[in-house]
Amino acid sequence: MAMLEVKGLSKSFGELKVLNDISFSVEKGEVVAVIGPSGSGKSTLLRCINQLERAGGGEIDVCGVNMVKSGEKGRAVYADSRTLREIRLKTGLVFQNFNLFPHMTVLRNVTEAPVCVLKKSKADAQARAMELLKKMGLEAKAKSYPCELSGGQQQRVSIARALALDPDILFFDEPTSALDPELTGEILKVIRELAAEGMTMVIVTHEMAFARDVADKVVFMEGGYIVEMGTPQQLFGDSASERVRQFLARFSDQ
């Protein structure tokens, strides 16, 4: 069973159509990298899947549960609010700009959702948070505030926060775009470790070498369409698309 199934997804902002007939699937334990030029619809795709934007049409199933389907005239029909909440708990999203609560300590940033959303006890939430912070190399920063951390440390906290809800699928929206090259390496190392552990992930990224080396499947988007989809070997080695070959040409020697 696919962990994520997207069929014919569309999304418009007024007259501007930003997603056009998007279809792909993600299997359990699979890492899917979504690449392409800026403005191609990659982030909007993640936001639709994570219920931060409403789709215009198409279908989305998460862990076998239908979130949205095509109704009359192809318009999107969403599941009931209870089902949407259950689906929301199955997914985690790591933003490019961290989105940590500045007035909360690192520990509270990670425990807030498990306590308030999952109704975990404070003790259980803190124990899990410390486990995750240790995994991220940030155990000593539990009492610090976001402003006291580097960008790479803040992003690792945001990953720990997402993992604290034990999602079935983890989404990353350009997780290194706000970081300098040295800090970028910290985040890519964490994501590589998660991939090695079998975490199901969809990663929008501009890090081509990372996409080539870590992903099981690569999706190339442009103009709101999927231009090509396949294994890293297919896209980076011998793409059938002239546009994809052109886009990836400068990364071929990495």
The owner of tokens 């486990």 is 131
Question: Angle CA(213)–CA(40)–CA(72) in degrees, nearest 5?
Answer: 115
Per-residue pLDDT band for 108 (boundaries 50, 70, 90) equals: very high
Q: Which two tokens stand for residue 254?
A: 């990495």
d(CA 27, CA 25): 7
CA dihedral for 66, 219, 178, 188, sign (positive or negative): positive
Mean pLDDT of 151-180: 93
What DSSP element (H or E) covers 31? strand 31-35
Q: CA–CA distance from 113 to each of 63, 93, 102, 124, 154 (Å)?
A: 21, 13, 15, 12, 17
Q: What is the mean pLDDT of residues 34-45?
A: 95
For residues 197 and 177, give the distance between their C-alpha atoms in angstroms, rounded to a whole number.
Answer: 24
Kindly report the average pLDDT of the chain as a whole number. 94
The mean pLDDT value for 44-56 works out to 96
pTM value > 0.85: yes
Locus of tokens 């580097």: 150
Across-strand partners of 17? 12
Cβ atoms of 135 and 58 within 8 Å: the answer is no
* Per-residue model confidence (pLDDT) at position 177: 85
At 185-213, the pLDDT tens digits run: 889 999 999 999 999 999 999 999 999 99
Q: Which residue has the tokens 């318009």?
A: 75
Distance CA 9, CA 42 (A): 12
pLDDT score of 222: 96
Proportion of the chain in helix, strand, coil states, percent, rounded to 5: 40, 25, 35
Question: Would you place residue 252 in the very low, low, confident or very high pLDDT band (cuts 50, 70, 90)?
Answer: low
- Give the pLDDT band of residue 74 (cuts 50, 70, 90): confident
Residue 178: pLDDT band (50, 70, 90) is: confident
Sign for the CA dihedral angle at 76, 72, 40, 213 comes to positive
What does the pLDDT read at residue 1?
74
- pLDDT tens profile 118-156: 999 999 999 999 999 999 999 999 999 999 999 999 999
Beta strands in 64-166 (DSSP E): 65-70, 76-78, 91-94
At residue 253, does pLDDT exceed 60? no
Query: Where does the pLDDT of residue 254 fall: very low under 50, low under 70, confident under 90, or very high at 90 and above?
Result: very low
